[in-house]
């Protein structure tokens, strides 16, 4: 992102991690530009319902996440990889705008056996924009893109197995949007998914044909936490 400041050795640390762990998607430790002891992300995480979040965001950095480790997906705020990886995984999906493009990329990579890593020795500071914080437009894109990822990444078998749980979660999402005054954002997201069902089907078939790692194996690595954006 253009609203970041980096430490002098940030790129060297990412390259070093890549050389050690091999093909993957890598992200630095993200701290707040305004409060340099506060996390913006200690690695991004993904749960079974398609919700992604920045781990430890808003919490103080007390070196509790100071080891290189596998994460759900690398934050698009600052993401490092190689052209060889991008040739395998592909670039950001043009259907996904503003939110979850990095989640989608990381999920696609993991389906090919390519992991995402958090590299705390690489440090950047992020002056995140709050222009869309708790904004109807933000919640439209979040929900639209979450639904798209679920429908394109899970196999039909997996989707059918978790459908009752997804339905229950969706009820609470509807209630959340209603109580926050964003009901139209949820409706827009659902209508957009229906409108683009042919494109979603095509993308699903493409990803399913390339998948190497099963949903069952990937789900065991998903986070069991749920965070409000």
Domains and CATH numbers, the chain: 4-126 (3.90.550.10), 136-214 (no CATH)
| Token pair recorded at residue 18 | 């890549």
This prediction's pTM:
0.94
For position 131, what pLDDT does the model report?
A: 43
pLDDT tens digit string along 154-212?
999 999 999 999 999 999 999 999 999 999 999 999 999 999 999 999 999 999 999 99
**Residues 226 and 47 sit within 8 Å (Cβ to Cβ):** yes
- Note the pLDDT of residue 123: 97
Task: Check if the beta carbon of residue 25 is closer than 8 Å to that of residue 114.
Answer: yes
Structure tokens at 203: 């993308």
87 is written with which tokens?
């040739």
Residues lower than pLDDT 50 in the chain: 130-131
Is 69 in a helix, a strand, or coil? strand
């Amino acid at each position: 992102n253009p609203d970041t400041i980096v430490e002098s050795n940030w790129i060297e640390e990412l390259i070093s991690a890549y050389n050690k762990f091999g093909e993957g998607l890598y992200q630095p430790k993200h701290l707040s530009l305004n409060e340099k002891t506060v996390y913006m992300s200690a690695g991004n995480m993904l749960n079974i319902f398609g919700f992604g979040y920045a781990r430890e965001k808003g919490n103080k950095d007390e070196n509790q996440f100071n080891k290189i480790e596998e994460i759900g997906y690398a934050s698009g705020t600052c993401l490092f990889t190689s052209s060889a990886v991008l040739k395998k995984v592909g670039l950001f999906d043009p259907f996904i705008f503003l939110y979850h493009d990095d989640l989608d990329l990381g999920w696609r990579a993991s389906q090919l056996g390519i992991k995402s890593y958090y590299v705390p020795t690489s440090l950047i500071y992020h002056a995140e924009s709050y222009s869309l914080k708790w904004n109807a437009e933000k919640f439209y894109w979040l929900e639209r893109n979450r639904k798209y990822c679920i429908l394109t990444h899970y196999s039909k078998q997996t989707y059918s197995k978790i459908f009752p749980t997804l339905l229950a979660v969706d009820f609470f999402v509807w209630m959340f949007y209603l109580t926050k005054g964003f009901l139209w954002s949820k409706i827009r997201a659902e209508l957009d998914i229906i409108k683009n069902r042919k494109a979603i089907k095509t993308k699903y078939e493409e990803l399913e044909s390339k998948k190497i790692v099963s949903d069952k194996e990937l789900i065991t690595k998903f986070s069991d936490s749920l965070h409000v954006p």
